Amino acid sequence: MSPELATSLIIAFAGLFVVLNTAAIVVFAERRLAGFIQNRPGPNRVGPIGILQPLADVLKLLFNEDITPIYGRKSLHTIAPIIPVITAIGAIAVIPFAGGIVASDINVGVLYLLAVTSMGVYGVTLGGWASNSKYSLLGGLRSAAQMVSYELPMGIAIASCVLYAASLNVVEIVDSQEFWLNVFRNPIGFVIFIIAAFAEANRAPFDLVEAEQELVGGFHTEYSGMKFGTFFLAEYMHVIIGSMLIVTFFFGGYHLPFAGYWMPELASTAQIILDLIVFSVKTLFFVFVFIWVRWTLPRFKFNDLMHFSWSRLLPLGIINFVVIASAIMIYNNYFS
């Protein structure tokens, strides 16, 4: 095994370990924050301040009976929960956590990210269809319509960041923000991207695929035990990955704001540690935003959800892309 491959595998497994463990922490944090927002205690019985509650939840799911619908597609019913987890894990491969700390620094990293993240819709859709339940099927169909619709504005928002870096390489996009963050150069793209990230993660106010008031539980109505737990894990993994992508494309990744102007040069080890801390703090902030929004805003109606994507976000994203492209072309032709 070559040293480069060994390094890539180590980084990939380290990133996976961090994301999986952070997902458990985020579950606990969300419950505590939800309790604070709604003026109730939250988990406070299992361990000090309820800190062992995620472990208790996992044990409960492990010992729950795993039920498969008699008339459902058993193989697809089993495979479906695994797909969203795999897509979330796949996205880790091209996200730079620090200078030189990336599992796979490929030239078409943006295309890879868009391809991998778009595969998550298959897990939710197959889960609804394989259950042979009308409630699950409606949840799966809602998911397909919602996630495909919001992938288009998300892709255009990322493309507007690609224009500034003139590269599809994710590391180069991060490095292009050493002096100016994309959130300042491309604020409309940032707003479009963060809205689409909420929809892609099926988080409120875009959790129409799970709407328990009308769909009982949506695509995972017929799931129990660890299969349901896998869907639950995938949701929180997508929250973390979505936060990482927001940081990567719009907040300079591991760079401090305007670092190119004032940041002194550090030793390589110190710089890597600082980069990891900066990236982690930024990511955790946006995880908090995901939680905050969920427990603050009400759910959309489904027709409003679709209308907002196709009639508002998509045209706005296209206009934003054209304006940025025109501005860059004029600058390069007349001022550079």
Is 43 within the bounds of a domain?
Answer: no
- CB-count burial class (<10 Å; 0-12, 13-18, 19+) for 289: middle
**Total domains, the chain:** 1
Query: Considering the domain boundaries, does residue 70 fall inside one?
Result: yes
Quick one: pLDDT band at residue 157, thresholds 50, 70, 90? very high
Mean pLDDT of 254-274: 81
pLDDT tens digit sequence for 305-321 = 889 999 999 999 999 99
Range of the domain at 259: 64-334
CA 215 to chain centre: 24
Would 12 be classed as within a structural domain? no
pLDDT band at 185 (very low <50, low <70, confident <90, very high): very high
Confidence of residue 20 (pLDDT cuts 50, 70, 90): confident
Query: What separation in angstroms does the CA of 109 have from each of 85, 94, 100, 116?
Result: 19, 6, 15, 10
Q: Considering the domain boundaries, does residue 2 fall inside one?
A: no
Length of the chain, in residues: 336
CA 321 – CA 300 distance, rounded (Å): 27
**Strand runs (DSSP E) across the chain, as ranges?**
none
Quick check: 173 and 249 in contact, CB under 8 A? yes
Q: pTM above 0.85? A: yes
Within a domain: 16: no
Is residue 22 in some structural domain? Answer: no
Arithmetic mean of pLDDT, 140-161: 89
In whole angstroms, what is the distance from residue 84 CA to residue 231 CA?
7
pLDDT band of 1, cuts 50, 70, 90 = low
Q: Using alpha carbons, list the distances in angstroms from residue 241 to 197, 238, 248.
A: 10, 5, 10
9: in domain: no
